[in-house]
């Protein structure tokens, strides 16, 4: 008898050996694996060759067979906050379960995993805030830049709030690198939405002698809504920090010019600092802000 392996495995692309041998004898299954018609993902778990190349299929199969929730960096990849990693798959089970892993699988235990479980494409996965904290503690500093970017993107895309990450961090008083993550979370809570804004706040706008400002100031002009990176409300001065990747295109530069012009119609002046200027001449940026702020104080008669 000729079997259609794809139809036998089903739409998920993977199947357990237990289910498979209810339909096909063990020798046939072993022959399919030997000839490449099936790929062994884990002991007792098989996939079609096409499905086996899809990391989401592999992750979904492993989570299902283990009765586990995808966590740590693997969860962040499912949330599209990190690229799929080539390393082991991180899974978490309840505290009463065994944490014994296997080749290609790191198994963790947590007493509160149930309340933190969400679903992405049908796959059980930890919520974003928990995944950020778990991955941070496991990274041992090796992947911190990527994890910082993941946390920033998560808050900017509203997959979680800075408060959500802070709440998860509060549960982990001994988390490795906890102080660094707490500082990042506070900056996100203050309104920073990129590494450049974080750098600019720490090294330029919050430097000694700089005037106080408000981050992510919301303003509506003629029905259009804007968010200012930094705003000095007393003198209607805005500071925008332009990352090279986002503001380098001609279209975006034109949009920035129009935006500044619209804000000017209601009295706002905008200072723009690009990545190279801000990181290469912080003192010069500080001087520009101070002098412009002082000039507008005189203009507005502010004492």
Summarised one tens digit per residue, pLDDT across range 60-75 is: 998 988 899 999 999 9
**Domain 195-300, CATH homologous superfamily name and number:** VSR Endonuclease (3.40.960.10)
Phi, psi of 46 (to 5 degrees): -130, 155
Binning pLDDT at 50, 70 and 90, where does residue 232 land?
very high
What's the pLDDT score for residue 36?
93
pLDDT tens for each residue of 171-201: 999 999 999 999 999 999 999 999 999 999 9
Kindly state the average pLDDT of the residues 30-34: 92
pLDDT tens for each residue of 131-142: 999 999 987 666
| Residue 162 pLDDT greater than 90, yes or no | yes
User: What residues are paired with 227 via a beta bridge?
Assistant: 218
What's the pLDDT score for residue 1?
60
What's the pLDDT score for residue 294?
96
Q: Where are the domains of the chain?
A: 5-53, 66-190, 195-300
pTM of this prediction? 0.82
Q: Can you list the positions of beta strands (E) in the chain?
A: 14-16, 39-42, 45-47, 69-70, 89-94, 105-110, 117-120, 123-126, 214-221, 224-232, 237-242, 269-274
| Residue 111 pLDDT greater than 70, yes or no | yes
Burial class of residue 221 in the structure, from the number of CB atoms within 10 Å of its CB (0-12 exposed, 13-18 middle, 19+ buried): middle
From CA 197, how far away is CA 278, in angstroms rounded? Answer: 10
What's the pLDDT score for residue 71?
96
Residues of the chain above pLDDT 70, percent: 96
Kindly state the average pLDDT of the residues 216-221: 94
Task: State whether residue 67 is helix, strand or coil.
Answer: coil
What's the pLDDT score for residue 86?
74
């Amino acid at each position: 008898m000729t079997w259609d392996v794809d139809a036998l495995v089903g739409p998920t692309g993977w199947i357990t050996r237990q289910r498979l041998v209810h339909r096909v004898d063990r020798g046939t299954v072993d022959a399919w694996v030997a000839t490449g018609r099936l790929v062994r993902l884990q002991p007792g778990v098989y996939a079609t060759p096409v499905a086996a190349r899809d990391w989401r299929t592999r992750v979904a199969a492993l989570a299902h067979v283990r009765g586990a929730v995808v966590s740590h960096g693997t969860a962040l990849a499912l949330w599209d906050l990190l690229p799929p990693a080539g390393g082991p798959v991180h899974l978490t089970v309840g505290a009463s379960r065994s944490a014994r892993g296997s080749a290609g699988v790191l198994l963790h235990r947590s007493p509160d995993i149930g309340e933190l479980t969400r679903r992405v494409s049908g796959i059980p996965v930890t919520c974003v805030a928990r995944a950020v904290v778990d991955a941070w503690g496991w990274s041992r500093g090796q992947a911190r830049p990527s994890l910082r970017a993941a946390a920033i993107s998560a808050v900017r895309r509203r997959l979680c709030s800075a408060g959500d990450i802070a709440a998860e961090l509060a549960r982990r008083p001994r988390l490795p690198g906890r102080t660094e993550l707490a500082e990042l979370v506070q900056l996100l809570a203050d309104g920073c939405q990129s590494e450049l804004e974080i750098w600019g706040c720490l090294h330029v706008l919050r430097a000694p002698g700089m005037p106080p400002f408000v981050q992510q100031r919301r303003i509506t002009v003629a029905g259009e809504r804007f968010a200012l990176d930094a705003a000095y409300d007393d003198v209607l001065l805005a500071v925008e920090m332009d990352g090279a990747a986002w503001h380098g295109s001609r279209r975006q530069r034109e949009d920035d010019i129009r935006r500044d012009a619209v804000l000017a119609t209601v009295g706002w002046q905008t200072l723009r600092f690009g990545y190279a200027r801000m990181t290469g001449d912080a003192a010069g940026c500080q001087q520009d802000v101070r002098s412009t702020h002082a000039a507008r104080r005189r203009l507005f008669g502010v004492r």
